[in-house]
Amino acid sequence: MNRLLKDILLAIVTALSLSAFIYLADFGITNKLLNTILAIGGFALFLYIPKRAILFTGFFIGLLWFYWIGYSFKYQGVAYMGPIITVAFGFIYLLFFLPLYFTDNAIIRALLLFGLSFVDPFGWNWMQLPLPFVDSYFGVYKYQFALILLALSLPSIVKKPYKYLPLLLLIGAINYGYPTQIKAPLKIKLITTHIKQEEKWKQSNLYPTVLMTFKEIQKAIQEGYDVVVLPESVFPLYMNETPDLIKNLNKFSKKITIVAGSLLREDGKNYNVTYMFQNGSYKIAKKLVLVPFGEYIPLPKFAQKFINDTFFSGASDFVTAKHPTDFMIKGVKFRNAICYEATCPELYQGDLKYMIAMSNNAWFAPSIEPTLQKLLMQYYARKYGVTIYHSANYKGSGVVQ
């Protein structure tokens, strides 16, 4: 067999082994044994495949995990950028794993992989290397990931008959349990909406959207819920500029707590925010962590305006809060998280048991993005012992533990 073809096939097998858990979950298949075998096999291959196969593996992993990122560009008026961004993410992760190309030593590759687990290119942190173990028999803590890599790499230097003795280190990586997660002592209704992104911001759809939202709130009241949670930007407007809407939501909040996403314009700045209406008044939580290239440009300031105006139609100009926001709802504290934030460790700091998260996943429909998002939320929820109440447009709503 041609060596190049062999390297490509090895790369495909490696990339598929480390990506299969996402696609299986997307089809509703969660098998811990299968996920364990695939993840262990994928990382073992990564440590031992030829140098050139490393490059192809990085490229294919970038595609398999993040092909969907380019989808959102058509809503920014630059649809031609979609395929370019998809291929670009292949090359980004080719470069991300490039350090492994410079050595054939499995132990050095293991050390490099462990080091890369702390790196987030351009602030994009969805490539969590321990993530393939999130629904497996192994844990996702860094020490467990380190033990797995050591167990797989040390046989390369141990001679027979003890060559595979290092595999005993895998015992230390077994998932012996995460911090206790409990559900909030409230009856919480999570709303899923199905509004296509191309329809979401049309003025003609504003009234039907608001009407649909109030029907959901009324239904939740009739069903006896304490809290109703609606998706990110479910109100597609600057809510602080619509006093009548706020007045009506305040009125309904005397019967049920309403948590909903919208926008805020303040001092000429735009914010992606959550409104919490309770007992006839409301509070606002501004987003803390913005989406790289979606809501801000992670480049030097001299390049930000040009890229924002050229490729994002001026849309990536949101600003952030300075710290996370917590809501007290009927005596229970909830951390607020908007979409990408729910997959960022900054949001899990402090005394935290419950989180309310909201997303608009229609940006990336149809794709695996909601599934990958849910797996990442599970990753953080289990590590930190947090129960997440997630409401999404398109797909992804549910209680995450």
pLDDT at residue number 137: 98
Closest CA to 287 of 247, 346, 225, 245: 346
Q: Select from 37, 3, 47 the least CA-distant residue to 17.
A: 37
Query: Which entry of 232, 295, 341, 369 is annotated as an active-site residue?
Result: 232
Q: What's the Cα-to-Cα distance from 347 to each of 280, 325, 338, 389, rounded to whole Å?
A: 28, 9, 10, 14
Question: Contact 75/198 with Cβ under 8 angstroms?
Answer: yes
Tell me what pLDDT residue 267 has: 85
Q: Which residues contact 302 (CB under 8 A, 6 or more apart)?
A: none
Q: Single out the catalytic residue among 189, 339, 369, 374.
A: 339
Catalytic residue among 189, 200, 286, 287: 287
26 pLDDT above the threshold of 80: yes
**Residue 35 DSSP SS3:** helix
pLDDT of residue 82 exceeding 90, the answer is: no
Provide the total of helices (H) and of strands (E) in the chain, helices listed first. 12, 10
232 as an active site residue: the answer is: yes
pLDDT in tens, 285-329: 998 877 776 666 555 555 555 555 555 555 545 566 678 899 999
Task: Point out which residues pair with 393 in neighbouring strands.
Answer: 193, 360
Average pLDDT over residues 17-45: 97
pLDDT in tens, 107-153: 999 999 999 999 998 888 999 999 999 999 999 999 999 999 999 99
Q: What is the dihedral of CA 343, 365, 80, 270, to 10 degrees?
A: -50
pLDDT for the residue 241: 95
| Calpha distance 138→282 (Å, rounded) | 43
Q: What is the pLDDT of residue 335?
A: 97
The rounded Cα 387 to chain-centroid distance in angstroms is: 15
Per DSSP, the three-state class of 175 is coil
* Helix spans in 49-136 (H): 51-66, 81-96, 106-116
Q: Contact at 8 Å (CB) between 259 and 323?
A: no
Using DSSP, state whether 397 is helix, strand or coil: coil
Catalytic (active site) residue 339: yes
For tokens 């992989």, the residue is 113
Backbone angles phi, psi at 61, to 5 degrees: -65, -45
pTM of the predicted protein model: 0.93
Phi-psi region of 398 (alpha: psi -120 to 50; beta: other; left: phi over 0): left
- Tell me whether residue 344 is one of the annotated catalytic residues: no
pLDDT category at 207 given cuts 50, 70, 90 is: very high
Categorize the per-residue pLDDT at 73 as very low, low, confident or very high, splitting at 50, 70 and 90.
confident
What was the pLDDT predicted at 43?
98
